[in-house]
Amino acid sequence: MNQNVGSTDKRVRTALGAVFGIASLATLAGAVPVPALAAPVLGVVSLIMLGTAATGTCALYSLIGVDTCPASAGGSR
The reported pTM is 0.83
Question: Where along the chain do its domains lie?
Answer: 7-64
- Give the pLDDT confidence of 27-68 residue by residue, as tens digits: 999 998 899 899 999 999 999 999 999 999 999 998 998 899
Dist. CA 17–CA 14, nearest whole Å: 5
Are 40 and 18 a contacting pair, CB within 8 Å?
A: no
3 vs 74, which has greater pLDDT?
3
Instruction: Give the distance from CA 17 to its chain's centroid.
Output: 5
Specify the pLDDT at position 70.
Answer: 85
